[in-house]
Amino acid sequence: MMKKHLLLGMALLAFGTGAATLPVTLRNRASAVLKEAPVTLPVTVRTEIAVTPEANEPERYKLGGLWLGTPDRKNGWFFHLAERPASKQSLRFVELVLVKDGRYHAQNELAELTVRSNSELRWETGKPYILQLAADRQGADGRVLAPSGELLAELRYEFRQPVELPAGAVTARTELAETVVSACRVTDEPMPVPPPKPAKKIVLQASDAGYDAGKFESVENRVFSDGRGLRPRQEAGELTFTFRTDRDCDYLLKSSVASPSRDVPVYSNFSLDGEPPRRRVVFPAWRRGAGWEKLMRLPLKAGEHTLRVELPRSITLDCLTLEPLPPEPEAPAAARSYQPKLTPPAGHPRLLLTPETIPAMRANLKHPENAQAVAVLRQLAAAPLQAPQKDGVTVYDRNYLLAIEARAFLYALEGDRRLAREAVDAMKTYLAGVDFDNLMDVTRLIGHTIFVASEVYDWCYSQLTDAEKAELRAGMLRLGLDSEIGWPPFKQSVINGHGNESQLSRDFLSMAIAVYDEDPEPYRLCAYRIFEEMVPAHNYEYRSGRHTQGSNYGPCRFSWDLHLAMTFRIMTGKEIFSADMAKVPYFWIYMLLPNQELFDDTDVFFEHGTPYRYGEPAFNMFAYTGDPLLKGEFLRQGGLPWISKYMPVQFLIFNRPEVAASREYSGLPLTRFFPEPLSSMIARTGWEFGPDSRTAVVEMKAAPYNRHDHQHMDAGAFQIFYRAPLAVDIGVYGHWGQHYDFTFAKRTIPHNALLVYDPDEKFAVPGNDGGQRFVKTMPWTIRQVIDHPEIHSTGRLAAHYAGPDADRPLFSHIKGDIAAAYSPHKMKEYERSFVFCRLDNPETPALLIVYDHVVSARPEFRKYFLLNTIARPELMENAVRVENSLPGGKPGELFVTTLLPRRDNLEVTTAGDGRALEFFNEKVEMPPRNRMLSRGWRTMISPKTPAAEDRFLHVMQIGEPSAPKFPAELFESGTRIGVKVADRIVTFSKNGRATADPVEFTVPAGAPRQALLTDLLPGDYTVMRDGKPERNITVTEGAGTLLLPVEAGRTYRVISACKSLDAAV
């Protein structure tokens, strides 16, 4: 058939009827006919289109694309780029929808979805794409292509029986978006030839296995696929499955089992076609009841196969499945054509060692600080090299890899060819036979193996034959297929999650550097992800001097960035991250508590009760920065003997023995401010450590941005420590994504934050805690974060101040506008202000004053101020007292006075000792970790009378239980509200907004005081004392505060200089 190419673009623009002149721009809800004459099948439409979703109405679907069908839109195909509501979180996607006789059809009796490739395409706002829609009597095929022609996504429906859709028109349409159509071509080309149908999934039902009936019993289980399973009667039993595959294909073996086991993993053995058994977890420690588990990749040839399974007594097997694995996705065209600015130099070694660094490395072997690591190194190099085996299968063994690594390292430094040959031969054998189990995070073990193989390749390069080079390269790439990030490495985000650990930053990058001469493609792909995605995103974050992943995961993820940076520093002499990176380690220094634990921040898997140690990350922080204090912290944690034994080669490469360690914390400022995008503040009264320390420490969060993973929904939260944890996060980390994790631990309710409870609110995950939006989107680029504040932003930093002495401030103030952290349908305005007061009082060393101004969308949405504690609180009329102590330690006390809501409008409830896991209509089960926190208490403070606008004002006295309590006095002055307590006066704007309105107050009799006036617009102000001008003061942008030393018994009035001048005129 002759092709009929119809180039469109010379017709009248119209919406809904007529034809459109191209380019055409559609806004809001609109359509434009692109081809007026009836379009008959087969047809292929290619349009160039760019879609920009509207910023308003975040809870609506938005789209731009094509309609191919009848003008009444009752028969035809929709194909568009779409965006889900913000609450759905996984925003961008591609959609192909059939409409038949006015009904929308997905996969059903009429049509089958036969191709679904990258339908969750993260298409970019305003960027042009080619939308190609082809249709005939057999179905439709929708493809999204880059302007270069690269296929980005494909959806294909095939009718189960041929369907004759009526002739129609080609129409561009948009819903709540701006859609620009710049080109369109319509031809009678048929649908593209479909790809070969994938291999079919194979189901091996337990009841179909061969087995000794006397050794198994049939067990009913309603969640199983056929309602029954098989369980050994004794300790273990063997099942034999026979099955046939119709083609050569890689399959994923999965199991569906049930078990009463709790908190320990349960293994089974699997033997394919007579091979040695392979041990796999079928029931992980965190699972309860029943579930599926991925076991292993099996490359199978066409034909008949036998699988033998040895089940332990505690396992009931439902079935096994063999699911065909799709081909590994191709790397994006932009990555394949990438030209990195930094490339590996010619010659070897170049991975962590270079000809220029080797002389200094040899000298370092003689430094006393390195003696232990050198001794371990030589012991490893002399240890016998016998591949680790279990049941006849080679398995991962860290010490075996260290022994190989030690030989390669010493060859690079000392030239002993025997050591090089031993390392090469052992590595080849190991790569050819090693089998990794499926225990959670096994990707880290796979990566370590690739890393050591890369070192052998690079450091022993001159001793390798071409065949050995090819063998090592093939072995590393084969292992890479089973890593989480995959190979090519594009299955995970590299700015978040496991993709931001060693997989790219050490393992694949090391391989890419080592093999660059023979194959530059791996380096090109790694460099693209590092320089175009990871580095820009982390430079954006490191401006804050804080890490999104908090107390436990933060050091780990940051450590891999440091390893990456030092790899490039050694290889090229260049720094790849900004200078802000060196500030980040001080986040964990300031989180350090007097008992040498850390405040919990984000997911925390360490048990409480012992000093916090983070090993390799502490070393890398010092090694990268050369900071004496960070070296002192590494040594204080006992890192030297550990690292000398656990990773002697990396220690000898990165260590800086010439740096003298310091443990002088006393020279550090007492308050650390962390600017946006992780706006927060940590304030303390001193740097004393140990059981007798009287240092109080408070963390205050303003509006940190959120990019999911291990972060919590805790904008505006605070924590307090004095002698023991007093105000804490009572959620703990069990297993990521499980019911407890998403319904409680990561939510707002276990934090010291604020709830606004709408009983009908729906979150992106199960459970309504009344808290902040659940951020469930994990971005792949920082552009996605910046372009979607409706997802990732929790608000803005409104003000911050520490003074008058920045190193030893009397006041530390931070304020966040955090309404954006909550769903817009329930929260209209919300500002939270913190003022930490360091008192010159050994019994009560500090105060924390918290002011909340909240406006909800409806009065009946009740608001709750949260106070979460380990110890049971004592409730008083308008106060809460909490006393807590560490084992064998002295008690500390938190005394909280509620000034707003006032006493006659105040309701206080508390729940604990396990009952804190019940809230509103939810109940969760505690994972087996951090039992101290699992018995924590939640106190909820709320106004009795429903109102859209509410204010909370709390004064928290931090100190000794025996200390006399300061009276806290509430006062108002026009648009201001304030508190007088101890020797301090603090004021806030009633409506939470900065203003130049005057402030007036009288200082109580007694000693002189310090007054901090917050929420002031920048500008000049006049201070009046007893009606007379005393001085002029300038309020600066960003701080919004005015600090005044004031005298007892005097009345002060502070007015804007502009208003003062107006009054004089």
**DSSP calls for 34-97:** EEEEEE-SSEEEEEEEEEEE-SS-TTS-EEEEEEEE-TTSSSEEEEEEEE--GGG---EEEEEE
Taking the C-alpha atoms of residue 100 and residue 74, their distance in angstroms, rounded to an integer, is 6
> What is the per-residue pLDDT for 388?
93
> What is the per-residue pLDDT for 6?
29
State the virtual CA torsion across 112, 117, 122, 124 in degrees, nearest 10. Answer: -90
DSSP code for 1021: E
Element (H, E) at 535: helix 535-542
> What is the per-residue pLDDT for 57?
80
Block means of pLDDT (10 residues each) for the chain, 1065 residues, are 31 42 91 80 91 85 92 89 78 89 75 83 91 90 91 89 80 93 90 82 96 95 94 93 95 96 90 93 90 95 97 96 88 93 97 96 94 97 93 91 98 97 98 90 95 98 98 97 95 93 97 98 98 97 96 95 98 97 97 96 86 90 97 93 93 96 95 97 97 96 93 97 96 87 95 97 93 92 90 95 97 98 96 97 97 98 97 95 94 98 97 89 78 82 97 98 96 95 96 95 88 97 94 94 94 82 37
- CATH, range 968-1065: 2.60.40.2750
Contact 734, 927 (CB under 8 A): yes
Element (H, E) at 1011: strand 1009-1013
Q: Catalytic positions, please? A: 498, 553, 710
Lateral strand order in the sheet of 393-395: 389-390, 393-395, 434-435
Taking the C-alpha atoms of residue 781 and residue 515, their distance in angstroms, rounded to an integer, is 28
Taking the C-alpha atoms of residue 970 and residue 976, their distance in angstroms, rounded to an integer, is 11
Single-letter residue type at 750: P
Element (H, E) at 642: helix 639-646
Q: What angle do CA 951, 956, 961 make, to 5 degrees?
A: 150
The model's pTM: 0.88
38 vs 17, 43, 103, 880, CA distance in Å?
13, 11, 22, 75
User: Which residues lie closer than 8 Å to 21 by C-beta, 6 or more apart?
Assistant: 9, 10, 11, 12, 13
Taking the C-alpha atoms of residue 632 and residue 616, their distance in angstroms, rounded to an integer, is 14
Contact 471, 429 (CB under 8 A): no
Q: Identical fold at 6-187 and 202-324?
A: yes
Taking the C-alpha atoms of residue 246 and residue 265, their distance in angstroms, rounded to an integer, is 34
Q: What angle do CA 230, 236, 237 make, to 5 degrees?
A: 55
Taking the C-alpha atoms of residue 370 and residue 1032, their distance in angstroms, rounded to an integer, is 60
DSSP assignment of 466-518, as one string? Answer: HHHHHHHHHHHHHHHHTSSS-SSS-SS-SSSGGGGTHIIIIIIHHHHHHTTTT
3-state helix, strand, coil in the chain (%, to 5): 25, 35, 40
Instruction: For 809-836, give one letter per residue: b (16+ CB within 10 A) or e.
Output: bbbbbbbbbbbbbbbebbbbebbbbbbb
CATH architecture of 352-664: Alpha/alpha barrel (1.50)
- The 3-class SS string of 793-825 reads CCCEEEEEEEECCCCCCCEEEEEEECHHHCCCC
Instruction: Quote the strand ranges of 273-351, DSSP E.
Output: 278-283, 289-300, 303-312, 316-324
Taking the C-alpha atoms of residue 19 and residue 12, their distance in angstroms, rounded to an integer, is 5
CATH architecture of 671-966: Distorted Sandwich (2.70)
Structure token pair of residue 136: 């005939």
> What is the per-residue pLDDT for 821?
97
- CATH, range 6-187: 2.60.120.560
Element (H, E) at 564: helix 553-572
User: Which residues lie closer than 8 Å to 36 by C-beta, 6 or more apart?
Assistant: 11, 18, 19, 169
Three-state DSSP class for residue 1058: helix
> What is the per-residue pLDDT for 450?
98
296 vs 37, 289, 308, 368, 439, CA distance in Å?
55, 22, 14, 46, 11
DSSP assignment of 96-122, as one string? Answer: EEEEETTEEESSSSSEEEEEEESTT--
Taking the C-alpha atoms of residue 427 and residue 411, their distance in angstroms, rounded to an integer, is 15
> What is the per-residue pLDDT for 102?
85
Taking the C-alpha atoms of residue 448 and residue 405, their distance in angstroms, rounded to an integer, is 11
928 vs 262, 265, 550, CA distance in Å?
9, 13, 21
From the number of C-beta atoms within 10 Å of its C-beta (0-12, 13-18, 19+), residue 123 rates as: buried
In this structure, are strands 984-989 and 1009-1013 parallel, antiparallel, or unpaired? parallel
> What is the per-residue pLDDT for 605?
83
Name the one residue in this structure whose structure tokens are 């959806």: 155
Phi-psi region of 970 (alpha: psi -120 to 50; beta: other; left: phi over 0): beta
User: Which residues lie closer than 8 Å to 823 by C-beta, 6 or more apart?
Assistant: 87, 758, 761, 773
> What is the per-residue pLDDT for 612?
85
Three-state DSSP class for residue 324: strand
> What is the per-residue pLDDT for 520?
98
State the virtual CA torsion across 644, 645, 647, 649 in degrees, nearest 10. Answer: 60
Structure token pair of residue 354: 């270079």
Structure token pair of residue 898: 């509620």
User: Which residues lie closer than 8 Å to 849 by C-beta, 6 or more apart?
Assistant: 834, 835, 836, 837, 953, 954, 955, 956, 979, 981, 986
Three-state DSSP class for residue 774: coil
639-646 vs 615-625: helix crossing angle, rounded to 10: 100
In a 13 Å sphere around the CA of 502, the CA atoms on its Cβ side amount to 20
> What is the per-residue pLDDT for 107?
57
Taking the C-alpha atoms of residue 259 and residue 287, their distance in angstroms, rounded to an integer, is 9
Contact 53, 62 (CB under 8 A): yes
538 vs 227, 531, 535, 550, 707, CA distance in Å?
49, 11, 5, 14, 12
> What is the per-residue pLDDT for 10?
28
Contact 489, 504 (CB under 8 A): yes
Q: Where are the domains of the chain?
A: 6-187, 202-324, 352-664, 671-966, 968-1065
CATH number (3.40.50.2300, 1.20.120.430, 1.10.540.10, 2.60.120.260) of 202-324 reads 2.60.120.260
Contact 759, 861 (CB under 8 A): no
Residues facing residue 939 across a β-bridge: 867, 910
> What is the per-residue pLDDT for 931?
60
Three-state DSSP class for residue 672: strand
Phi-psi region of 991 (alpha: psi -120 to 50; beta: other; left: phi over 0): alpha
Structure token pair of residue 510: 């090391």
